[in-house]
Structure 1
Amino acid sequence: MTFDKPVDAVRWVREVQMESRRRRHGLMLRAALNYCRVLRDGNDLLGDGVNIAARLQEHAPVGGVILTEAVREWIVDDPELETRPLGSLALRKMKKTVTAYELVTDGRPTIIVASEQTSLPSIAVMPFFSGDGQDSDGYFASGIVEDIISRLSRLNDLTVISRSSTLAFANQPANPQSLAEVLGVRYLITGVLRQAGPQYRLSAELLDTQNGQVLASLRRDFVDADTFAVQDEIVEAALSHLLPGLRAAERRRSLRKAPASFTAYDSYLRALDLIGSLEPGPFREARIHLQSAMDGDPTFSPPFAWAARWHSLNVGQGWSGDPAGEAERAAVLAQQAIRLDDMDARALATFGHVQAFMFGDFDTALTYLDRARQANPSSSTAWLLSSVTLSSLGRAEEGIAAAERALRLSPFDPRLFQYYVFLGIVHYDAGDYQSAVKWLSMGLAENPRYTSGLRALAVAQEALGEHAAASAAAGRLLELEPGFSLALYRGAHRLYSDPEKADLFFERLQRAGVPE
């Protein structure tokens, strides 16, 4: 396309990208603008200037706009048109570099445009350095980076910079603080990938650019058996080791802030910090923070998804005075989160979990749990909540595999007790009562207040004939839930699609000493 004036071109392309972003599911474009002389041949435009624009757009993120210096000179004094430098970008097949700028407020979908109320943490994954510079290693390293960015971009509580925005910094030593300023991020993931024969070695770090601190690091060796399998393993290892460091840093940052300066995101982080204790006081306070987050930014889906999970846990812990009403509330909140972001894996999985265990609609549950795993295959929550539903349908081996994958994806989760307890439950459903007791005991050692673990432990021990141990577990359950009874629990939960399995569970629980 051609324009008479550079400023008209910039305004037009910005409007196109912004409208595309508002529509969310529309056609997404890359754009580059250059101001130059051209040769006209009928309807064709020819010349190096056209080629420069064509090559520059390859560096643009989807939904983004890149400008040459010649275009920027025309808009530099326009306060409505802001740019940020990208440095010198190499142009494919042209043997030259061009000083380029990115137009700010573009429409790239990989960057969640965070409102002031939300202030999501921002992260960039830098091109991994491949040790000996061989093309095969370079492609492999690029594939790993692209996959990490793709999976990070599915997490709706992060702002992720697109890969094309970081390509200009490939194989260049750079100061993290300078990179952060250019890219507009707080966190960086950097890495080196080397190959020696059939062996790969990956070293990766998560950096806080504000103070240069290494928040987490990973060093792993891999054997070159199947390239794609190795790539998946590297990506999974990187995310499971580096993401907890980022989230821990964000929680520490939030805890240092005064309540008067909370954003919706800070309130959301405070809630997550309080939910895991399962102590009644902090747990109730978590709901207040989640409500503050929802009120502060009604377009931010994670607090709605977590509020749904909060109500589910409140019923599960026996603290609800209205289990049926809270089940409905959990479903409504999860649906609201899905309406805000239909790729929110936690919302999809929570809705599926509620449908299974509070309404007994296992078919709908599986549909939403499948959607959750497809939306984000790296979501440990999606795999964890899927595990018990699969197991409840008699697919215990699939349930065990799903729970094991969830633990592998989140080995440092602050709510690790849930992973252990769910592993215990699916092993119980598979008839492996010894393994069930082992995992359930580990979960309760992490958090002795998790009543789902105590119920399952009492039943598994009763199945093993360990009546004294089962009675002790039931006694601890009744201390935490003095009003617990089998009738109330039956009314609020649907444990299995097979009524006979449910009857056996309740029979064992009764033998352990739980009142009818």
Structure 2
Amino acid sequence: MAEKTTVVTEVQKTLGVDFLTTGFLRRSASGIICDIDFLDAKSGQILWNRNFQIANMSYLDDAAMQIEHIARTVAKSISDTAIASSRMQPLNDVSDQNLLISGVGLMHRATIRDFLKSRDFLSEATSRLPNLAETHAWLAKWYVLNVMKGYTMDQKRDTQLAIDCTAKALDLDPESSLSLTIDGFAHNNLVHDFSTADQRFESALDVNPNESLAWLLRGSLKAFLNDGEAAVSSNQQARKLSPIDPFNYYYDSLASTAYIAADDFENALVYANRSLTTNDQHLSTHRAKITALHFMDRREEARTAAEELLRIWPSYSLQHYERSHPVSQEKLGRRALKAMAASGIN
């Protein structure tokens, strides 16, 4: 064990990494076993291990689901470790890397406490790394979500702060695909400038055709514009590019909206339910579920779904949706309004 620890710490010094994943194959009476260890590179301590079995090497493709699960577990472990470490330290002592990981990770968690804490980390990251475009882009996304989640105390101010942050990011790096994507997100969801949003998403994909978030949010825009076919294909492309994304619930939520725009209510319900299994605090997913159930003539279930929405957001109303949602008067929005009204939301 001492020898293994020495090797790991030497690799850490050489590569400058915090974690390592190692593994090996061994034969057993019933096939081949793959053992995988996830280690803290600085100490050499094994944080967890996993194994799975295949009949022989020709069946290695059948192990895809187990490999995907291990990859998800690695990503979650890194995020959870960074967040736990950041929470135990004074803000000034948190490493630059952990600031960004914690800020992005907490921003996508369900509780308002985690969401609000993420702003502290992201604001500190922009202060420490003022010339890094991505820190400003992630802070901009926080302001967009703060408005969309209904937490903001000043929608006009937070909208402007989101635009200011993406402008700063693009000043620093005009070809940052992430910054272009978040700027499109802000223009789509807050400013309701669909033309500019479309330009930003297209520019992001010109820079980086593999920018999964750009494909995802482009799909949302296409749904807003009633182009269901493009909405679904963009969402599918986003999923292909990031099949184990730690925020998969968000991909599923926007998939549900895309399928509603494409008149495919069965798939819309499937993805809404899948998203809610992971995160039941996402308002638009509940709305999509109500809409899908209503237009499938499953009215009693739609009323139950509406009751669940109101249990989490007791003050939610049709007036709030009409006032705040960028497509409340378009086809997609009118469908949601009709479904919510018929399901008991006033």
Q: TM-score, normalised by structure 2?
A: 0.77
Answer 1 or 2: which has greater strand percent.
1
* Among 259, 263, 269, the residue aligned to 2:89: 259
User: Which sits farther off after the overlay, 313-322 or 444-453?
Assistant: 313-322
Aligned to 1:43: none
Match of 2:240 among 395, 405, 408: 408
CA displacement 1:291-312 (0-9 Å, x = unmatched): 2222232223333222222222
- Deviation at 1:447? 0.9
- State yes or no: 1:352 paired with 2:181: no
Residue 66 of structure 1 corresponds to none
Larger Rg: 1
Q: Counterparts in 2 of 1:443-482, with a 5 A limit?
A: 443-482=275-314
Give secondary structure in 1 for the equivalent of 2:250: helix
- The count of aligned residue pairs is 317
Equivalent in the alignment of 1:3: none
* 1:247 Cα deviation from its structure 2 partner: 6.9
Q: Please give the alpha-carbon distance, in whole angstroms, between the structure 2 residues aligned to 1:488 and 1:386.
A: 25
Match of 2:319 among 487, 492, 502: 487
Deviation, structure 1 residue 398: 2.1
Q: Which residue identity lines up with residue 239 of structure 2 in the other structure?
A: L
3-state SS of paired residue (1:484)? coil
Aligned mates of 1:506, 1:254 — CA distance in 2: 38
Higher percent of residues as helix: 2
Q: Does 1:321 align with 2:153?
A: yes
Name the SS for the 2:327 alignment partner: coil
Q: What RMSD, in angstroms, separates the aligned Cα atoms of the two structures?
A: 3.6
Distance 1:283 1:246, change over 3 A: closer
Residue number in structure 2 paired with 1:379: 211
- The residue number in structure 1 matching 2:64 is none
Q: Does 1:245 align with 2:77?
A: no
Query: What percent of counterpart residues are identical?
Result: 23
- Offset of 1:286 from its aligned partner? 1.6
Structure 1 contact 244–413 (Cα < 8 Å) conserved:
no
2:191 match: secondary structure? coil
Sort the Cα spacing of 1:461 and 1:401 in 2 relative to 1 into closer, same or farther, 3 A. Answer: same
One-letter amino acid of the structure 1 residue matched with residue 269 of structure 2: V
- Is 2:118 the counterpart of 1:286? yes
Residue 239 (structure 1) shift:
11
CA deviation vs aligned residue, 1:171-224 (integer Å, no higher than 9, x gap): xxxx66555544555567999xxxxxxxxxxxx99987543969999x9x99xx
Residues in 2 aligned to 1:476 and 1:276: alpha-carbon distance in whole angstroms: 21
Distance in 1, matches of 2:176 and 2:21, equals 23
For structure 1, the residue ranges without an aligned partner over 5 or more in a row are 1-174, 192-203, 223-237
Of the three residues 421, 441, 444, the one matched with 2:253 is 421
SS in 1 for 2:230: helix
Structure 2: gaps (5+ residues): 1-6, 24-35, 59-66
Which residue in the other structure is 1:514 paired with?
Answer: 345
Name the aligned partner's letter for residue 256 of structure 1: S
CA distance in 1, matches of 2:342, 2:96: 47
Do the aligned residues in 1 keep the contact of 2:260 with 2:332 (CA within 8 Å)?
no
1:207-286 matched pairs, under 5 angstroms: 209-210=41-42, 211=44, 245=74, 248-249=77-78, 251-253=80-82, 255-256=84-85, 258-260=88-90, 261-286=93-118
- Once residues 297 and 473 of structure 1 are traced to their aligned partners in structure 2, the CA distance between those partners, rounded to angstroms, is 44
State the partner residue of 2:63. Answer: none
Conserved? CA contact 1:360–1:494, under 8 Å: yes
Residues 277, 181 of structure 1: alpha-carbon distance in 2 compared, 3 angstrom cutoff: closer
Give the residue type in structure 2 aligned to 1:506: L
Per-residue deviation at 1:469?
A: 1.6
